[in-house]
A and B are shown apart, each in its own frame.
Chain A
Amino acid sequence: MTAAATHEVTATIPHGPFDVLRHSWVLAKRSLVKTWRTPESLIDVTLSPIMFTLLFTYIFGGAIAGSTKDYLPLLVTGLIGQNIAFASVGIGIQLNADIEKGIFDRFKSLPISRVAPLFGAAMGDIVRSILLIAVMLATGYVLGYRLGTDMWHFLAGAALALLFSLCLAWGPMLIGLIARSQRAVQGIVFMTLFPLTFASNAFVPTESMPSWLAAFANANPLSHLVKSLRVLWNDPEGPGAVTGGWQGPVSWTLLWCGIFVVVFAPLAIRAYNRKA
């Protein structure tokens, strides 16, 4: 009956500045284990992109770039951009399900940082993006796509794409935290993403669009990412060549990444603190 009994095994790691990272990592592991258990949840980053690549290559390739081979350098990078955007709906749905099932109440009653569950979800999602990029490149390779630059440019491009997906994810996370059902999350996120992905340089040159649309497409964050990938990955002299250095589009992409985080992260954290 002594109160001391409740303190018997509490040999814990002292709380400190690295708690947020450690707790986020514990929660990222949770996402990873769940992803591993339900491989079908990876369809949107594996089979869907393969299907898109095949369809687009043979349907649009001839019409847009003259031949499927010339279209591939445009398409592979464009599809990576589009699918990174589409795959971000998954994280919103996951957060929404966590709220519905009450597991966030558990996290909120623990002495952990309020942002840890959100960071953890975003960190766990990186694996999906890595898988997506790998699948896209492999599919492209089979169809005849080749990287035109060196290893470092390739890694820089891949890192930029991952960073973009990590920052963009705060948008769907915010929707996931405020929408009332998983279906609503899906509807709202896709409604936003469709114009973002198609009114961009992902599939067609923006020069073919009416001027107002081209203006939107050129400012579109996804266009900047796709252009960065084209510059970083493809031989500037070869098919799908992009003129201009990589500094311009990469800076724009980084700026957009910053904007996503600065705008959506505080709103998402506020929504999490209020709701859940």
Chain B
Amino acid sequence: MRDVAPPSYGIAMSPDIAVEADGLVKSFKETKALKGVSFQVPRGKILGVLGPNGAGKTTAVRILATLLRPDAGRATVAGFDVAKHPREVRKRVGLTGQYASVDEELTGRENLLMIGELLNMRMGDAKSRAKELLEWFDLTDAADRMAKTYSGGMRRRLDLAASLTGHPEIVFLDEPTTGLDPAKREDMWDVVRAIVERGTSVLLTTQYLEEADALADDIVVINHGKVIAHDTAENLKRVVGSQTLKIRPSDLAHTDQVRAILAEVAADAAHVDEPRRGEFSVPVRDDSILPGVVSRLATAKIDVTELSLALPSLDEVFFTLTGERNKSLAGATESEEVAS
């Protein structure tokens, strides 16, 4: 429940929507970063914005966090138009950028105190909030060390803690786990889930389908400044296949037989793909097909050097959605090796 009536400012907006982007357009000199992007973040939910480097994710986040003005289109955050009432928006959002924006020459605690004071907290409140956040983010031991001595993961956590200092209604997380190792990534996921449990709405950008799938209620896929898919994680996986089966026969003479086997078990036979010579992949609905594949390979006496099931990489998602290979994509597959 809000303690103030939701502002209207002539915009009819459902109180269930935390963030609404409507036809956002933004260019930087010759580059068109956004070509009309629209999406919504329902209150208390996580929207995952999935896309490769340069897709326009960061630009969209910077517009919503009032750091940039769109050339065209409109955005409403917490009921306020970002162009007309940026200060009201800033009171209600927290931003964690792709690069941890903390002051390296201040300690973790000083960073959080400074943010608290800038948010007009009384000194005592700022101190207790800093303490609380340092505990939550497991930074208590490092609290009085300068942030430049922190590891990458610690800096990200401090950055996130800084964004949460003012109890924002909405948090923007711009690629919060890019560059973190898998174990640290899952810690960050737990934090994001905890934030949402407290009633905060989250807009998360990521390059990893796995991350969007693990966290987001809805997923928007963007590429070259345009939304190319907007769906629930469930439906999106139904389209791109919940998992990808990958086979690499040891002998290239067997490629046709392998193709035939994959086409039989695939969710969609048309999507048997050969990303590298001698390596085949296909989206499948679930992992129950695996024993069948193994016995067929055995019957046909085909040796394989690799047989694995994985969530599709962003590259495969794009291939399925657009039928085009995106050269700039970073492969992001977490593979589950079952045989070699």
Contact = CB atoms under 8 A, between A and B. Distances in A.
Nearest to A105: B101
Contact of B121 (A5, A12, A23): A12
Given A13-B122, A109-B90, A37 B66 contact: no
A109 B102 contact: no
Q: How large is the interface on B (under 10, 10 to 19, 20 to 34, 35 or more residues)?
A: 35 or more
A85 B91 CA distance: 39
B198 A5 contact: yes
Contacts of B199: 1-6
A15 interface: yes
A191 interface: no
A14 interface: yes
Contacts of A3: 1-2, 43-44, 169, 199
A210 interface: no
B162 to A, nearest CB: 7
Mostly, the A contact residues are helix
A102 B99 contact: yes
Interface in A1-52: 1-15, 19, 22-23, 26-27, 29-30, 33-34, 37-38
A32 to B, nearest CB: 11
A215 interface: no
A249 B115 CA distance: 43
Contacts of B228: none
Nearest to A35: B105
A106 B3 contact: no
Contacts of A112: 118
Interface string B1-44: 11100000000000000000000000000000000000000011
Nearest to A30: B114
A6 B121 contact: no
A27 B118 CA distance: 8
A110 B99 contact: no
Contacts of A188: none
Interface in B199-239: 199-200
Interface string B165-203: 011110000000000000000000000000001111000
A183 interface: no
B106 A105 contact: no
B76 to A, nearest CB: 17
26 contacts: A1-B44, A1-B199, A2-B1, A3-B1, A3-B43, A3-B44, A6-B167, A6-B199, A9-B125, A12-B125, A23-B118, A26-B114, A27-B114, A30-B103, A33-B105, A37-B146, A38-B105, A102-B97, A105-B97, A105-B101, A109-B90, A110-B115, A111-B88, A111-B91, A111-B119, A112-B118
Interface of A: 1-15, 19, 22-23, 26-27, 29-30, 33-34, 37-38, 101-112, 116
Interface of B: 1-3, 43-44, 65-67, 87-88, 90-91, 93-95, 97, 99-106, 110, 114-115, 117-122, 125, 128-129, 146, 162, 166-169, 197-200
Given A9-B167, A13-B122, A101-B99, 10 more contacts: A5-B198, A7-B3, A8-B167, A19-B120, A30-B106, A104-B101, A106-B115, A108-B67, A109-B66, A109-B67
